[in-house]
Structure formats: C-alpha cells, structure tokens
Amino acid sequence: MNKRYLLLLYFMVHLSVFGQTPAVVDAIDFSSYETFPEVQLDGKRYLYLPEANLLIDKVENSTGNMLSVIKDGMYGAVDKNGKILAAIEYDGIELKDEYKGQWYEGISYDYEFIITEKEGKYGVINVKGREISPPQYDGIEIINKDLIGVKQHGKWGWTAVEDGHVIQQPIYDEVRKCYLNDKCVAIYLGDKQGMAKADGTVIIPPKYVFLSNLYTHSASYIACSENGLYGVLDQGGKALTSTQFEAVSSLGDIDLIKVKQGGKFGAINTQGNWIIPAEYDQIDDFVKRLAIVTKDGKQAVVDSSGKLLVPFGYDEIEFQDAEGQPVFPAAAAVMAPISYGAELSEVALKEKAKRKAIAALPYTIYVQRGEQSNRLDWSGKPIFPPNQLLTTDPFIQGGKTYYRVFSKDLYGVYDAEGKEILPTKYHLPQDQYAMTTDYNLGGIDLSDSSFIPIYDGEKLGLFNLVQKSFIVPVADQKISWINRHYLVVTRKLQDRDYAYEAALYNSEGQCVRGFDANVYDYHSVSENFFLLEREDQSLQLINGDGKVVYENPSWKGSLRKQGFSLPINENQDAVPFESGLLKISGDQHNLFIDLQARERRFAGYTAVGNFYKGLAFVVKKAEDGKDRYGVINKDGKELIPAKLEQINTVYDHPNLLLVRQDNQYGLWSREGKFLLNLEYDDIEINSSQRYVRIVKNGKIGLTTKDGEIVLPPKYDELFVNYEGDEHTWPVLVKEREWYHIVAKDGTVYPIKTQKKGAY
C-alpha cells in the first residue's frame, strides 16, 4: 500500500467523525458571517459541512461557488452546500474564477477552478470536483476555460482542461491569458511577448515589448512595439505597417488609426496609407465622421478625408448632442457590450430609449472665440448669426431640437435652424427654486408634447412650440398638469392671505372653468372626469367640458388627507375609477359612482373600501356588535365572507392578504383562493426572507409565499442560516429536547445537541 493511499485513508478516518447514527455535540449555532453551522465539540469550535458530514476548522476563502477550507492544517475545497470538491489533504488551495461584466448573484462564470498544492507541486480540479491534473507541476496558470498553463523545469506550456493532456510542451518563460484574442495564449520569451493558438501554433512571434488591441469602427487590429517605435498588425499577425511611429491608437467611430510621427499626429487607413498628414498637435476621436484637430493652440474640424470643414481660429470646439451634452464616439462594433446580469428596470429602459432618441437627432458643433460663441450644424454652417455675443441652451421637446438663446439678462426661443419662435425679451426668475415649483408636471411625461413653460421674472405662461402661440398667457400664476390633456392654473387671491383660486384649462388652450374664489383645486380621476375641490372642502365631479355631473352634500374632505390609498396594496395607491367605480367619501362608507355618475351601494355592508384591481375590503357588523371583514369583487360577489376578525396587507407582496378568524391565521391570494387555510396560530412574512414562517399547535414550519409546505410545522424552534443557500439553508431546528440541522428537502443531518450557541 503506497504512502499516498495511507495518508488519504488517515484523513478519511480522522474527518468522518459521524456515522449514520446522529452524533451528539456540545452545541450548534449559526454565525452572522459563516456559510456553515458552527459546532462545539470537546470544548473546541468547528464548522460543520452538512453534505459531507465533516467538521472543519475554518473557511479560508470563497469565490463563486467554491470555498477553500482548513482542517488540522490541511486544505481542501467545498461547494456552498458543503459538498467536497477537493479532499482536505493539500498543503494549499487557490480558487480561480472569471466572469464577464459586473458581478451579480447567480452570474454565469466562464470558468471555476481549484489549484491544489502538495509537496511543492501543483494540480487542478474543476468546480464539479473532477481532477484535471494531480499535483505534478512546478506552477499553474489559468489561461481560459479550455487551457491551463503549466510550469516544468523553469519553462511554461499548457494543457487541455478537458482531459489534462499536454498540448504545448513547456518552452516559454511565461504564458498568460491573452487579451488580444481570448481563444489564444499570450507567450513570453524574456521580456518579449507574442501570441499563439490553442494548439501551439505561433501567430505572433515573441519579439515585441508591447502588444495591445487597437479597435477601429468595424474591425480589430493589434498595436505592437519594438525598439521604442510602434506599428500595426492584423489579427493574423501580419504587419500592416512597420514599427515606425512614436504612437498608434484608435480614432473613434471610423476605420482610421491615429499615428504620431515627428512629434505630430496624423491618421492612416487600415491598409497603412496616409489619410491625414502628421501635422497636428492633437487629433480627437472621430464622431460621425468628423474630428476636432488642434494646431498652435487653435482648433478646427476635419472630415474623414482630412479636409478642413471648420477652419482654424477657435479657442474651443466641442461636439454636442441635441441636449447640449458633449458626445463621444460610439463603441467599436467589434467590442462586446458589458453584461450587468439582471434585466434593466423600467426606468433604466426608458432612459436607454431616451438616450437613443437623443443620439438620433442632429449633433451640433459648439465653437468659441474669445467671449463669442456660436453653434454650427454638422456641415459646418453657422446656426446663429456670427459675431454676436450669445449663449445658446439646447433642449428637446416633441422629438425636435430647440434653443433658449440668452443675450445679457434676456432670453428667447429659437428652432433648430436658428429661426426665432419667441423674441429675446423674457427674464428668468431670480428664484431658481420657483422654476421647479411654479410649473408642475405632476409626474406626467410631456417630453413628447409641444408645450414648454415660459418664465418672465416672477410670471409664468404655457407656450405651444408647434402652434407658436401661448396656451396660457404669461401672468403671476402657477401651472400644474393633472393629466396629459388638462392643467390647473392657480393664482393668489388679492384680498386674502395664503388663499388661492383655480381655473381649469385643456391642452388646446380653452378655459374649461374660469377662476373662482371658492374653488381651491382640481384633481383628475379619469381621462375626462375631474374632482373640483372647494374652499369648504366639498367636492364635485365635473366632466371635460366643466359641467357638474355629480354632487352630494355629504361628499367632503381634503383629497390631500384622504387620498385614494387602498390597504390591499401598501405600495401602490388605487387609481380612481380603476375598477369602474369611484368611492364617495366623507360621512359615506358604502357609496360609489360609476362612469355614468350613477350611484351604487353594496347591500349588507357597513363599509366598503376602495376597489383595487376589481377587489375591495368590506366591513359587516356581527351579532356581537363587532366588525367583521371580508373581500368582494366589483360585482358584489363575496370572495372572502365578511366573517374575519382581521385582514392585513403584506408589505412588498400586494397579491397576499394575511387573514384571521377565531384566532386562526390564513394566507389569501388576491387571485381568489386560500394559499394557507385558516388553521395556523401565526403566520410571519418578512420581505427580506424567501420563506414564510408558520406556527400550528405551537410548532413551527416553513412554506413558500405560494403556500407550498417546505418544512411541516413540527418543530419547537427554527432558525434560518442567513449566510447559507437562499439566505436560509440549512436550518437549525429543535424537536423536543434536541437541536438538529435540516436541509431544504427535509433531510436531517446526523448531528444533534441539546444546546444552541456554539460561541
């Protein structure tokens, strides 16, 4: 029997301290920073690996799905569930992984490897525990998911991940991951580098001191350097130019390469021919086939042929988008986009669409000479008359570019061609905060409309850019949109302090209801219905023509106080008329109107809440005089009979209701069914936890939020592992006098204790 086999047998006997009969330990607990349960045995602290049924001393390191562990000075590796990947028999363990983009939970790894060390030799095991190579090499370097660099006798070669066979015999001073081509290998002899294929075929001999990717708009090349000068290679290693330049680099979204020669910059094409002579102090990256060049402290613009589009003479030139933001080259087509894993949010998708729409609008060239500035279109033609002292502030409205043009303290509005829409005669308010409060969009996106606010000092109006006319004339007032087609104009009452009157306008500029000292505000409850709020807090429902379609003497109350919130969903208010009904509040608790302004009550209930997605809470008096609760749909059908003692919403889960009857709890889905019947002593739902804690007859269990029983309620105590799988598993439970560790599938691991608390 050889020495290695004896050593392995020793460790198996030494570590497998537990058999099938549960072993009794001094104590068990979870730590706030350890993946595995902590155990006390014979006065010493250990970590317990449930899948392997082993005790270890510590977790040394973790990355991806792997953890390196230590026991009695020896190293091994396990997965996040404690399954052994590399036996605990090595002098050292190093974990290696790689992924693309920004890390997120659940990311897909390009590779995950375990480098093992024993008696000064190194081997490799993959993330599934398969040994690719035993410890037999002087060094290991992970090249990519298919190749592993190996060192023998001071030289490096590489082997195949698939079966560990040697592909390239060790002949190089160093091998590394190749950033020029991820399917190739970076090879080194001395301080010179080159590139080889996976099969060992040399593409670029190791004779360069520098190699780097060089991207043009549609292809990828390689910048190389030797003897202090630079040249360009194609991806096959063929020289496009000799090493004759002082520098080479990309030049933006064009198929040209920037070069430096004689201390000056120029550009060559991908055949190595000169396109722009080396005569400039600087050439900025090309944007839409134009570039800014600098010479003797002045700037100009050249096109892709090197022709001067905008002559020298400007102190500053900047390419700007339709919002006036500086623009940069688009990413080269050959470069892969960065992945951030999780799907983009709705807000992020909207912002992405917005930026794409802005990029599709014409860019401009901002130029400045001394104190004078102007804008040129992309052909180099001035948009505004030259030699005028102007400040131009571009903005986008309705998918078109416009400009606020400032001259001294005044401003006007011009179109994208520099034609006047509003003369330069308006003053911006001194109070910049008023610009954000006096004109209120109410969360409505009107960027696709033609409406803009016009300020003149402390006064405000609303202007239509397409019609080139004022919808609301400039006056001392505030403007608030209440939907896409209607807006409220409010102004102070002259004879009363802190009092306002309101008027209702439509987007055509028609005054639907004029100013009325008794009308405080208007609120949109549907596309064409509005609540008129009076100073005495009485409410009326009016239509889009301003006519009263419903009123009720008892309908009172400030909308700002009562709102339209519905307890069935704590995160989103119910929309008025969302289910075809509008609740009439005040001293009415069971009164609604429909879209025809007809009254409707639901018989048998003392109160009915707002409807949300067709459902509402109801209240009914029981024989004992106490309130009982239920849920009905908009047709009046009882989905939960009004017999419940309590209905609570579940934070962050609008589809769930926690209900109680006769001191028994259940979980109800807004889809109209019980997920957990009314039979539990308690149900605890935590938004930060994946599972629901249930208690029945004093015993604890776990379910999913869909009501599926994961662990039946049979435990006296239950503690989740916040650092474990799903921030839950395995769990520590107490059944009668014993604590056990239990897996998600109900497996009870062969270890137990009568004491919780290992530290």
**DSSP characters over 396-415:** EETTEEEEEEEETTEEEEEE
pLDDT band for position 570 (cuts 50, 70, 90):
very low
Closest CA to 419 of 465, 367, 454: 465
The per-residue pLDDT for range 724-744, each reduced to its tens digit, is 889 999 999 999 999 999 999
pLDDT at 5 over 50: no
pLDDT recorded at residue 400? 96
Q: How many residues does the chain have?
A: 759
pLDDT recorded at residue 350? 83
pLDDT recorded at residue 343? 65
pLDDT recorded at residue 353? 87
Within a domain: 593 = yes
Give the separation between CA 435 and CA 428, rounded to whole angstroms.
9
Q: Between these two residues, 654 and 75, which has the higher pLDDT value?
A: 75
pLDDT band for position 332 (cuts 50, 70, 90):
very low
pLDDT at 140 over 80: yes
The per-residue pLDDT for range 359-383, each reduced to its tens digit, is 899 999 999 999 889 999 999 999 9
Contact status, residue 667 vs residue 656, Cβ threshold 8 Å:
yes
> Which range among 28-32, 87-91, 294-298 shows the weakest confidence by mean pLDDT?
28-32
User: What DSSP designation does 363 have?
Assistant: P
pLDDT recorded at residue 330? 66
Strands 478-483 and 486-492: antiparallel
Query: What are the residues whose beta carbons fall under 8 Å from the beta carbon of 344, sequence distance 6 or more?
Result: 352
Give the separation between CA 298 and CA 293, rounded to whole angstroms.
8
What residue numbers bound the domain in which 575 lies? 563-638
The number of domains in the chain is: 1
Give the separation between CA 290 and CA 252, rounded to whole angstroms.
10
Query: What are the residues whose beta carbons fall under 8 Å from the beta carbon of 688, sequence distance 6 or more?
Result: none
Within a domain: 611 = yes
pLDDT band for position 9 (cuts 50, 70, 90):
very low
Residue with tokens 């589809």: 655
Mean per-residue pLDDT of the chain:
90
Within a domain: 581 = yes
pLDDT band for position 408 (cuts 50, 70, 90):
confident
Give the separation between CA 447 and CA 531, rounded to whole angstroms.
26
pLDDT recorded at residue 8? 38
Give the separation between CA 669 and CA 96, rounded to whole angstroms.
45
Query: What are the residues whose beta carbons fall under 8 Å from the beta carbon of 34, sequence distance 6 or more?
Result: 47, 59, 723
Query: What are the residues whose beta carbons fall under 8 Å from the beta carbon of 646, sequence distance 6 or more?
Result: 629, 658, 659, 660
Where does residue 726 fall: left (phi above 0), alpha (psi -120 to 50 degrees), or beta otherwise? left
Contact status, residue 59 vs residue 47, Cβ threshold 8 Å:
yes
CA distances from 727 to 67, 176, 398, 722 (A): 17, 37, 48, 4
Within a domain: 327 = no
3-class SS shares of the chain: helix, strand, coil, % to 5: 5, 55, 40
Within a domain: 741 = no
Residue with tokens 């309908």: 555
The per-residue pLDDT for range 157-175, each reduced to its tens digit, is 999 999 999 999 999 999 9
> Which range among 106-120, 342-356, 447-461, 476-490 shows the weakest confidence by mean pLDDT?
342-356
3-class secondary structure per residue, 273-318? CEEEEEEECEECCEECCEEEEEECCEEEEEECCCCEEEEEEECEEE
Kindly report whether the peptide bond that precedes residue 730 is cis, defined as omega within 30 degrees of 0: yes
Cα 180 → chain centroid = 30
pLDDT band for position 649 (cuts 50, 70, 90):
confident
**DSSP characters over 430-468:** S-TTHHHHSEE-TT---TTSSEEEEEETTEEEEEETTTT
Average pLDDT score over residue span 8-31: 64
pLDDT recorded at residue 687? 81
Within a domain: 651 = no
> Which range among 2-6, 87-91, 129-133, 677-681 shows the weakest confidence by mean pLDDT?
2-6
pLDDT band for position 641 (cuts 50, 70, 90):
very high
> Which range among 15-24, 277-286, 698-707 shows the weakest confidence by mean pLDDT?
15-24
Closest CA to 603 of 617, 590, 614: 590
* Confidence (pTM): 0.78
Could you list the beta-strand ranges (E) of 545-672. 548-556, 581-583, 592-594, 599-600, 607-608, 615-621, 627-633, 638-644, 646-649, 656-661, 664-669
pLDDT recorded at residue 387? 72
Within a domain: 596 = yes
Within a domain: 402 = no
> Which range among 29-43, 176-190, 339-353, 455-469 shows the weakest confidence by mean pLDDT?
339-353
User: What DSSP designation does 684 have?
Assistant: E
The per-residue pLDDT for range 240-286, each reduced to its tens digit, is 999 999 999 999 999 999 999 999 999 999 999 999 999 999 999 99
pLDDT band for position 614 (cuts 50, 70, 90):
confident
pLDDT band for position 574 (cuts 50, 70, 90):
low
Give the separation between CA 741 and CA 36, rounded to whole angstroms.
11
Q: Between these two residues, 528 and 475, which has the higher pLDDT value?
A: 475
